[in-house]
A and B are shown apart, each in its own frame.
Chain A
Amino acid sequence: MDRQLKSPLSEKDVMDLRAGDYVYITGIIYTARDAAHKRMFEALENGEELPFDVKNNIIYYMGPSPEREGKVIGSAGPTTSSRMDKYTPSLLDLGLKGMIGKGKRNDSVKDAVVRNGAVYFAAVGGAGALLSKKIIKSTVIAYDDLGTEAIRELEVKEFPVIVVMDSLGNNLYENVVG
C-alpha cells in the first residue's frame, strides 16, 4: 500500500510498515556511504560522538554528483547497501531507525533491524536525476574533506521508496527470487 511518512521516524510508524509498501518520505534524512561509515565506526570505537544523533533518523546511502548553479543537488540516487553491512548493526543498536539504499543486506543487518524495530528501504537505482527533484535542501554537516562522501543533511519532500525489510524481518527481495 501507499504510505506517507515523516522523518525522523516514530516507533509506531516503523512498526506499521510492511515489506512491499510504497512509502513517500518527507522531512530530514542524512547521507552517508562507504568512507563516512568507516569514519563514524572509528569514532564510536574511540568513544567519540557521531556527527549527528542517529536516534530515530534515516541514513540514505548516497553520494551525489555536484550541483549546477541554482540547483539544490546533482544526481542523487542510492548506492549498493551491502558495503555498509559491516558498520550498520552498531548504528541500529544506537537507535538508527531507517536506511535507504539498494540491494541485499546480510543476516547481521537483518537481525539488528528486527532487534531494534527498524526498517530498510530501497530507492530506484539509477534514477538519480528523478530523485534529485525530491530533495529540497542539502547541507554538508560533517567530513567535508570526503567530497561526495561527506555527510549531508537533506530535507526531502515525498521521497519515493519501497520497504524491502520490515521490523518483523520480512524481505521483499527474498519473495522475488527465493
Chain B
Amino acid sequence: MIREINVNEVTECIKEMCIEANHFLSNDMDLKMREAVKEEESIVGKQILNQLQDNLKIAGEEMIPICQDTGMAVIFMEIGQNVHFIEGDLNEAINEGVRLGYQQGYLRKSVVKDPIERENTKDNTPAIIHYEIVSGDKVKITVEPKGFGSENMSRIFMLKPSDGIEGVKAAVITAVKDAGPNACPPMVIGVGIGGTFEKCALLAKKALVKDITKHSDIAYVKQLEIDLLREINQLGIGPGGLGGKMTALAVNVETYPTHIAGLPVAVNICCHVNRHIVKHI
C-alpha cells in the first residue's frame, strides 16, 4: 500500500525541530551533562560545567539559543519505500522548514551561498540533506543543527589495514588533542570506520546523532567506545580546554564494510551542545 504524505507536514515538523533543538538539549545529552558535573574533578572544570548548566536553564526559560552558533541544519531523512510525497517538492519543503524555523525561532543565519565568495543566504538555507530509502511506510526525520567550532576540528584518516584498531585509536586521540579548547569541550566524538572516503565521513556524522547513553551492539565496537572515552578523559583538556577530566561526554562509533586495501577512519567532533532531535511521520 502506498501512503501519501503532504510535504507541508514535513515543513512544519522541521521548523519546530530546528527551534526545539536549539533551545533544549535532548534527554541523553541532558543526562550526560548533569553526570559530568559530578564526575569532574578539577575546580575550574566543575565551575565551567556549572556555568553550562546555568546557561541551559536560561536558554530554556527565556528562549535564548543555547549557543549563538545555531548551526548549519543537517537533516537525515529515512523514507519508507511505500511513501509518496504529495503537494510539492520534498527538497524545497525541507528547506522551507529550515527557513521558517530559523526566522521564527530567532536563530542565527550562518550559511554563505558560496564557499569562496561568502555572501550570507540570510535564511540559513540550504540544509545539508541525507536521504535513505528504507522498508515500510514511515518517515524518520533527524535534525542536527551543527556548529562549526567543532566541525572545523573534524578529521578523516585513510589508514592501512595493518594499522588495525590501535591505528584507529591513535587517529581519534590525535583529532581530539588537536581540537583541544577550540571545539568547546566536553565534546561528543562521532567515529566512522570503514566504507569509502565519503561513506566514512557520513558514518561519523550519524554516530553523533545516536543516543549517547547507549553503546554499539557489536562487542568489539562497544569496547572501543569505552576505551576511547577513558583515554580521551585522561588527556587533561577538560571543560573549556582549561584542564580537567571531562574532555568528552561520549564516543559513538559506527562501522561499515570496506575494501581489502583500506581502513578509512573519520572523526566528527561536536561540542557539548550536540543538538539532535528525531521525529516520525
B87 located at the interface, meaning its Cβ lies under 8 Å from any Cβ of chain A in the complex: no
Q: A63-B108, A104-B180, A176-B243 are in contact. Are A130 and B54 (CB under 8 A)?
A: yes
Size bracket of the B interface:
35 or more
29 A-B residue pairings within 8 Å (CB atoms): A35-B118, A63-B108, A65-B106, A68-B64, A74-B65, A74-B106, A75-B67, A80-B149, A102-B149, A103-B180, A103-B181, A122-B240, A122-B242, A124-B51, A124-B55, A125-B181, A126-B66, A126-B272, A127-B52, A127-B55, A128-B66, A129-B56, A129-B65, A129-B66, A130-B51, A148-B68, A172-B242, A176-B241, A177-B177
User: 1/0 per residue A147-177: CB within 8 Å of B?
Assistant: 1110000000000001000000000110111
Closest chain A residue to B58, Cβ basis: A129
Over the window 34-63 of chain B, the binary record of Cβ atoms lying under 8 Å from chain A Cβ atoms (1 yes, 0 no) is 000000000000001001101110110011
Q: Is the CB of B70 within 8 A of A129?
A: no
B271 at interface (Cβ–Cβ under 8 A)? yes
A132 within 8 A of B: yes
Q: A65-B70, A102-B149, A125-B240 are in contact. Are A75 and B52 (CB under 8 A)?
A: no
Closest partner residue, chain B, to A34 (CB atom): B118
Taking a contact as CB atoms closer than 8 A, the residue among B64, B242, B272 that contacts A129 in the complex is B64
A17 proximal to B (CB < 8 A):
no
Task: Contacts A68-B106, A148-B108 given; indicate if A128 touches B241 (C-beta within 8 A).
Answer: no
A124 to B55, CA, bound (A): 10
A124 to B181 Cα, complex, angstroms: 10
Q: When the two chains form the complex, which single residue of B55, B118, B238 contacts A130, counting CB atoms closer than 8 Å?
A: B55
Q: Taking the nearest CB of chain B, how far is it from the CB of A97, in angstroms?
A: 22
On whether A104 and B68 interact (CB within 8 A), knowing A129-B59, A176-B243, the answer reads no
Closest 4 CB pairs of A and B: A103-B182, A125-B184, A75-B68, A130-B55
